[in-house]
Structure formats: C-alpha cells, structure tokens
Amino acid sequence: PVEVRLADYAPPAYLVDTVDLTFELGETATMVVSKLSVRRNPAAPDDAPLHLDGEALTLVDVTCNGAPVTPVETRDGLTITDVPATAVLEITTSLTPIANTEFSGLYVSGGNYYTQCEAQGFRRITYFPDRPDVMSRYTTTIIADKAACPVMLSNGNPGPVKDLGDGRHGITWTDPHPKPCYLFALVAGDLVSVKDSFTTRSGRHVDLAIYVRRGDEDRCAHAMQALKTSMAWDEQVFGLEYDLDVFNIAAVSDFNMGAMENKGLNVFNTKYVLARPETATDVDYQGIETVIAHEYFHNWTGNRVTCRDWFQLSLKEGLTVYRDQEFSADQSSRAVKRIGDVRGLRAAQFREDAGPLAHPVQPSAYMAIDNFYTATVYNKGAEVIRMMATIIGRQAFRRGMDLYFARHDNQAVTIDDFVQAMQDASGVDLTAFKRWYHQAGTPDVSVEDSYDAAAKRYTLTISQETKPTPGQPEKLPLVIPVAMGLLDGNGQELATRLEGEAAAKPGTRVLLATQATNRFEFVDVASPPVPSLLRDFSAPVKLSGLSPERLRFLAAHDTDPFVRWDSGQQVAASVLLDMVATFQQGRQPGVDPALFEAVGSLLDQEPAFAAEALALPGESTLADKMTVVDVDAIHTARDRARTAIGQALYDRLRATYDRLSDTGPYRIDGASIGRRSLRNGCLSYLVASGDAAAVRLAKAQFDAGQNMTDVLAALGILSGVDCPERLDALAAFYQAWRHDPLVLDKWFAIQALSPLPDTVQAVQALKAHADFDLRNPNRIRALISSFAGNQVRFHDPSGAGYRLYADTIIQLDPTNGQVAARMVSPLGQWRRYDAARQALMKQELQRILDLPNLSRNTFEMASKSLA
C-alpha cells in the first residue's frame, strides 16, 4: 500500500456546490441516485480531470448534463475527462448494505440502516470526491418500506413524509449548511424516539430526539440531559448556538468507534447513550455525558469549520476534546476530572509516543487514515490546545476562538489557520510553539534547584530532552508552559518574584521553558522553598528531579490538587518499584509502612479526590517506568502492597466503607460518585487483606444489587479472588443480564481482566461462548481488548495470550479491517519485554503480516509495529 503525504496536498479539480441524493432502501439492494452540480475549482489547474472516489460499489449509470458518459473505472473510483466548467452529473449506483461488515458506508444493524462516513465511508455509498475540502449543500430523499422503516432520518431539516402508495413512503431532508461528505448520514428503520426541545439564546426552537431500538426508551434520560446541558454550555462559554431546527441522535449497537458528529444527525454507539442505574456504572454515565458533549461541540469545531485534509484531523479532534474536557470539568470536580484525563493521557498517549507507532499531532504521512484516530491526535492534540490557552490566557483564547469562526465559518482549513487566529487575537508569537504539532515524543523535563540563603535567591533550572521517535531522530526544544508555585517549609504558598520583575505575584504562575535548559531566578525568597511544578498538568511532559521527601511534602501540602495527587502516585510508584527490584534480586521485600500512613490519611479527605489518591499506580503504569518490564514481579509487588495496606488499615477501611454506605436513591452528582468510588476503593483493599469476611461483604454488596456501579465493583473484586463466591456471582450476573448486550459486555470484560492464573484459558473459552460475536466491535473490545490490558495474563510466558490475541485479529481482518487494525498496538510494545516475550510477540506480528489479502489498515499497523 502506498502512503498519502501531506506534502502532496493539491486542491480538488472540481468543487461540488449541491448534492441531491435519492436512496431506495433495500437490505440486499439499495439504489442510490446522486445528482451533483459541479464546477471547476479556480484554485486547481484547468486541465485536471474530475476524479470521483468509489469503493465496493456497483456502477449502474453516469450522465453529464443529461448525456451518457463513459468514465474510466480505476481501482479507487472513476475518472471523467472533459467535464465542462460547470455541469450536472447524475450517478446511479447499487449497494448491498446487508453484506457490509466493515460498518463503513451504509450498513444494516438489527434490521435497521445506518451510515458511517468518516473518514472515507461516503465513497462506499456513491462515487464522489471524498475529501473534506469539497463542501456542498445536500438534499437527501429516502424511500423505504413503510413497515420496515417507519423512521427515515438524514442531515438538516425534514420535509413531510409522503405515502408512495406501493407500501413505501418517502421523505426529503434539506441541510442548508455546506458540509464535507464525511458528515453525511442516513438512519432508517423501526426505531422509537425520546423527544425534548431546547430554545437557543437567540430564540430558535430546536426539536431534540434520541432514536433507539424499542425497549431502550427508558435509558435515554441521561443522554438527553447531557445534550441540553452541552447546548447551554457552548452558548455560555463560547457564544456558539445550534443552527438547525432539529437535532437527532440515533444509537446503534454495531459501531466501530464511540460516536459520530454527522450534521444534525449524530450516530452513537449504544454504549454512549443508554443508561439506567441498574445497567450503567458511574463511569458509563460520565462517558455518556462526555461523548454527547463532544459530538455536539463538533457542530462548530469540525462541522461549521472543518478540516482541509485528514492531516488536519487534530484541528477538530484536539480542539473538541479540549472543549469536552472543559465542559465536564464544569459539571463536577475540575481537579478530579483533570486527574482522570491525565491518567488516560499517560496510559494511552505517552505509551503511543514511546513506541513504534509514535507520530506527531499533525502526522505527515499515512497509509490508512482510520489508523490515525489516535490518542496523540485526540488527547495530545487537546493538551496542545490547553497549553495555548495557558500561554495566551483564557480571555485571549476566547477572542482567538471568535476570530477563528469569524474568519473561517463554512470553510475547510488547517491547523496553521487556527494557531494564526490565536496569535492574532492574543498578540503572542506562537511560531516556536507550533513545533508541538510536528514533533512526536514526550519530552523528559528535569529540574534542579538551589537556594542562596545570604542573597535570598532561589534558582530553578528546567531542562528538556525528547528521545528519538521513528522517522524523527533529532529533536528540538519545545515551548513548555510550566505552571508553578513555591511553598515554604510549613506548606504555605509564597508570592514569587522573578529577577527583573517589579513586584511579587501571589499563587500560581507560568514559566515558559523554551530551550534545552532554562534558568529562572527568584528573588526575595525568605527561606528554602519546595517547588510545586506542572500544576494542573500544564504540559504533556514527564517531569523528574524532585526527591522522594519533597514529593511526600507536596502530596501532603500543595495547594494544587493535581500536584498533590501526582506526587503521591510518584511516591507510591517508587515504593512499588523498589519492591520489584528486591524480588528481582531473589529476596522477599517488605512493604514501606509510610504507604499505610499515606493511604490512611486519605480516608478522611474529600471522597472523590481520596478515591483517586488511594488507588496504587496500576501495573501498566509501573511497567512504563521500567526499562525491561517484569510483569510477574510488578504483579506480585502490587498485590503484596495491597494486601499489606488492607491488613494494616482494616478497621479504618471498614469504618470508612460503612460511613459511606448510602441506601438512598441512586444519584449521579459528583459527590455521590465520589462516595461510591471511595467506598469501593475501601472494599477492594478489604478483600485484598485476605479476610474471608471481606469476601462475604463484597458478595453481599453484589447481591444487594443497588446499582450497577456497586454491583460491578463487587463483581470485579470477586473475580480476582479464587473463591466460591466468585463463580456464584459470575453465574448470577450472566443469568440476570444475558439479554442485555451492554451489560453482557461487562460480564465478558470482567473475566478478561481477572488476575487469576487461568485467565488465558478462560478467555479462550469465552471466545467460544454462544454470546461472543466476532462481528460486534463492542463485544470484541469487551473480551479481547480488555484482555490485552490485563498485563500479567496477556504476557503469559507461554505466549498463549499473544496467540489468542493475534488469532482474533486474523479472524477479524477480512470482515472489519478498521477494528482489526486498531487492535494491533499491544503487540507492537514488544521492545519493552524480555527476549523470550519479544520473540513470541514478534512471531505473532509476523503471522499477521504473512496473511494474504491483509487489509491496508492492519498492514500499516503490523508492519510499523515490527519495524
């Protein structure tokens, strides 16, 4: 497969002003008639032919201005020469939605029709210049069987439904806003809706509806509330209003990703819509709120202003993730939200940046664009936006957003255009800052400091270095905003004055590290301070250089909750890694009692924060800190520490568990979530203590069945213990929820995550279970992707975990290359393991690569992983 390169970008030969689509829906044969008014693009050479992308289509007919034309059919579409400067093309194609197992283009799920066009699915519906810089106004007519498809939805505003008298009916949707074809959507079938409305601040009445399968109506309230809250938030915070008379959401259980922001018709994975307290956990509820907000926010950041080409993907995704993070932070605890986001960033993005698939936020080449919907493009992209906001300030950031929309509404633009708007609105030169978009890798930032008591001067030296990544051997310094403060020996925040400044500033300030080494001189510092650095995680870097004593001090005293949390986690990680080292020397380590004190002191703190802080760093987080990962030593050390904490603090943990017990109705506010989270954290330590009574307590919590958060927490805890309660609970859970796909996914996932030694065999058996379905991405992710996150069992020394994993990729690739490819990356981490595991992992990657007819997506991921 060939690479597409940013450097080769050329504007399209023709633009398409209007698109008039007619669908006659049938599962085995759908006819699509597409009428395009095209015009030569003045920005392109005037002899270039018209190219229309197409994939897996049957061409029935093409006319140009009413006359038949004979296009040249190529591997990737049609080329038509001699199209006049303005013309109307009419193209008829036929498709087989029922045979579409890729879930890209038009497909059938549960007897209903759905489309997914981002990134390149529209070319699987009709021949079209399938690139985001071709923006058109669409009308869409849907004709379908009345009984099979009482609901027919598309983008924009609906016209009346017309009875066609032959058992079919039809409707025409008109979208007044120009859009790229990746935002096209059609949904039709036997669906029911939950309705509401929203009035924008300028008085537009918007009908809201969520379409689901019959029986799921009682699980839409949270999604609807999240939608209305998002609409109000975007008006308040960014001055952005909705721009159509209807906003529809359709939920589908077969979906490659989380959701899709099609104009006026968002399509969602059911996982991010459906929730009732008995079926969904707090994490599910939060995920729904975030994803609903994310897709809604795309209406402006992505849809009204879109990407010129797919190398600009982070223009919409990084910015929209930043916006959804800010939204969620405003809904509950900002600090706890930030901690969660940073956990996710480190687990996914830092790991990506350290491996063979590292790429810049703006990549410069790809084989399959679907492979670039990555943590780097999304989450590091959001961090880059956040750093810009930190550097220029919130008010200037808002002015920059206003300027961006004023300049580029209804345009397809670049990341440079966005940064230019921020620069022009703030007056801050962002030229050097832009390197963040082009340089891959996570910078290592180290600090040194010294205090001159006589001069009352404090010197902070910040150094940075980024390790080479594939294709980028040389790295340059980045502009790194370091939000910081100084604490005195009592933990009091000091006002700070840099040399040359007129007056001291209270609270947090931002230092800009721009060189390999920067020195910052603080004056009038009365006593030796402790620096609190990277407050609120002001830059996506790895920070080192503070002693364990200072980290303990910061964990106890800092005014910034993120630094308190992070310092505590670093202390715990070093305790655990010391234990790992002792194991590796063939000795049995004890557990540092300071850990008991640290955990104990958290039990009386604010529950949501305490829950985050008392969880020990995960096995994968510890692995990230080792040159050669020792999965068994990490697992044993962490387990032993948890047991010791459970035993040492048993009574206090139990008292906290009891104090936080809540028999009232389930509530989804931050305080209630925090209470459940801390209580379940306590339960987990109690069971880790090895006490049989604690196991019974977990089983009682499971049996009480108060809400899915508590039930699943208890089940997860039990699934890690070899006891009769475990089997009873798993069996009862299956019986209770076997007909509910989203809940059954949890049953699969929890078993795949069990640390018990026979988990590989259990996963193998579950793959053969009647309810396992290799066509359903949610089910595959639940069982197989969860298993890859089970460090100690996935990396079983026999290689059985790798084999099972690669077998699944191999089985899946022929039917859904997109999802298969996205599963490859855990095997690509082979360099971090011992020689025997390396060989086994590489062998599986090679087995995948040796397949005849491997998809372009999986080829790209496997070949880069092995290189």
Query: Would you name the residues annotated as active-site residues?
Result: 295
Position 282 contacts ligand HT7 (CB under 6 A): no
Amino acid at 44: A
Candidate segments 246-254, 255-263, 784-792, 832-840, binder of ligand HT7 by CB under 6 A? 255-263
Q: According to the binding rule CB under 6 A, does residue 370 interact with ligand HT7?
A: yes
Alpha-carbon gap, residue 82 to 400, rounded angstroms: 43
Write the CA distances from 56 to 100, 444, 558, integer angstroms: 9, 46, 59
* 3-state DSSP helix/strand/coil % of the chain, to nearest 5: 45, 20, 35
Per partner kind, with CB cut-offs from 5 to 8 A, the member of ligand HT7, Zn ion, none near residue 119 is ligand HT7
What binding mask, one character per residue, do residues 183-212 give for ligand HT7 by CB under 6 A, x or -? ------------------------------
Minimum CB–partner distance for residue 796 and ligand HT7 (Å): 32
The phi, psi pair for 153, rounded to 5°, reads -125, 145
Is 405 among the residues that bind ligand HT7 (CB under 6 A)? no
From the list ligand HT7, Zn ion, none, which binds 612 (C-beta under 5 to 8 Å, kind-based)? none
Tokens of 240: 């952005």
d(Cα 703, Cα 831) in Å, to the nearest integer? 44
As measured in angstroms, the least distance from the Cβ of 260 to ligand HT7 is 4
The window from 14-22, 94-102, 115-123, 768-776 that contacts ligand HT7 (CB under 6 A) reads: 115-123
332 binds, among Zn ion, ligand HT7, none (CB under 5 to 8 A by kind): none
Which of 99, 112, 28, 103 lies closest to 254 in space, CA to CA?
A: 103
Residue nearest ligand HT7 by beta-carbon distance = 257
Select the binding partner of residue 370 from ligand HT7, Zn ion, none (C-beta < 5 to 8 A, by kind). Answer: ligand HT7
Q: Which does 566 bind (CB under 5 to 8 A by kind): ligand HT7, Zn ion, none?
A: none
Task: Give min distance, CB of 840 to ligand HT7, in A.
Answer: 30
- The alpha carbon dihedral of 545, 548, 553, 555 has a sign of positive
CA 281/CA 312 separation, integer angstroms: 35
Q: Out of ligand HT7, Zn ion, none, which partner does residue 373 contact, by CB within 5 to 8 A per kind?
A: ligand HT7
For ligand HT7, the binding residue among 116, 349, 423, 858 (CB under 6 A) is 116
| Binding piece for ligand HT7, criterion CB under 6 A, among 189-197, 203-211, 293-301, 704-712 | 293-301
| Binding segment toward ligand HT7, per CB under 6 A, in 251-259, 480-488, 663-671, 680-688 | 251-259
- Is the Cβ of residue 260 or residue 541 nearer to ligand HT7 in the bound state? 260
Phi and psi at residue 821, to the nearest 5°: -60, -40
Q: Nearest approach, Cβ of 90 to ligand HT7 (angstroms)?
A: 29
Residues 6+ apart with CB under 8 A from 97: 25, 26, 27, 30, 106, 107, 108, 113
**Whether the bond into 119 is cis, omega within 30 of 0:** yes
Query: 451 touches which of Zn ion, ligand HT7, none (CB within 5 to 8 A by kind)?
Result: none
Q: Are 779 and 773 in contact (CB under 8 A)?
A: yes
Q: Does 315 interact with ligand HT7 (rule: CB under 6 A)? A: no
Q: For residue 488, with 0-12 CB atoms within 10 Å meaning exposed, 13-18 middle and 19 or more buried, which class applies? A: middle
Q: In the set 38, 151, 251, 257, which binds ligand HT7 (CB under 6 A)?
A: 257
Contact 301, 285 (CB under 8 A): no
Which tokens is 794 given?
A: 């996935």
Number of residues in the chain: 867
Instruction: Kindly state whether residue 373 participates in binding ligand HT7, applying the rule CB under 6 A.
Output: yes
Which ranges constitute the DSSP H helices of 773-829?
777-780, 786-788, 791-794, 800-812, 817-822
Least distance to ligand HT7 from the beta carbon of 317, Å?
5
261 forms part of the interface with ligand HT7 (CB under 6 A): yes
118 is a contact residue toward ligand HT7 (CB under 6 A): yes
Q: Which residue from 294, 308, 535, 793 is in contact with ligand HT7, where contact means CB under 6 A?
A: 294
Integer angstrom CA distances of residue 821 from 440, 573, 809, 866: 21, 32, 8, 14
Q: Which residues bind Zn ion (CB under 5 A)?
A: 317, 320
CB burial string 332-362: b at 16+ within 10 A, e below: bbbbbbbbbbbbebbbbbbbbbbbbbbbbbb
Kindly state the helix (H) or strand (E) to which residue 293 belongs, with its residue range: helix 282-297
Spacing of C-alpha 36 from chain mean position: 35
Q: Which does 116 bind (CB under 5 to 8 A by kind): Zn ion, ligand HT7, none?
A: ligand HT7
Least gap, CB of 370 to ligand HT7 (angstroms): 5
Question: Can residue 295 be called a binding residue for ligand HT7 (CB under 6 A)?
Answer: yes
Number of Cα atoms under 13 Å in the Cβ half of residue 612: 25
Residue 119 lies near ligand HT7 (rule: CB under 6 A)? yes
Name the strand (E) or helix (H) holding 327.
helix 313-331
Q: Which residues contact 465 (CB under 8 A, 6 or more apart)?
A: 443, 444, 475, 516
Q: Which does 231 bind (CB under 5 to 8 A by kind): ligand HT7, Zn ion, none?
A: none
Closest contact distance (angstroms) between CB of 117 and ligand HT7 is 9
- Closer residue to ligand HT7, CB minimum distance, 248 or 672: 248
CB of 151 to Zn ion, least distance (A): 25
Min dist CB 148 to ligand HT7, Å, is 25
> Quick count: other Cβ atoms within 10 Å of Cβ 374?
23
Rounded to 5 degrees, φ, ψ at 530 are -110, 125
Residues 800-819 that bind ligand HT7 (CB under 6 A): 818
In the complex, what is the shortest distance from the CB of residue 268 to ligand HT7, in angstroms, rounded to a whole number? Answer: 10
Contact between 303 and ligand HT7 per CB under 6 A: no
Identify any residues that bridge with 180 across adjacent strands, giving them in sequence order: 135
**Residue type, position 398, single letter:** R
- Segment near ligand HT7 (CB under 6 A); pick from 88-96, 111-119, 574-582, 767-775: 111-119
Q: Which is nearer to ligand HT7, 20 or 383 (CB)?
A: 383
For Zn ion, the closer CB: 260 or 714: 260
Residue appearing with tokens 């880790």? 688
Q: What region, left, alpha or beta, does residue 161 occupy, with left being phi > 0 and alpha being psi -120 to 50 degrees? A: beta
For residue 317, state whether it binds ligand HT7 (rule: CB under 6 A).
Answer: yes
Binding residues vs ligand HT7 (CB under 6 A): 116, 118-119, 256-257, 259-261, 294-295, 298, 317, 370, 373, 818
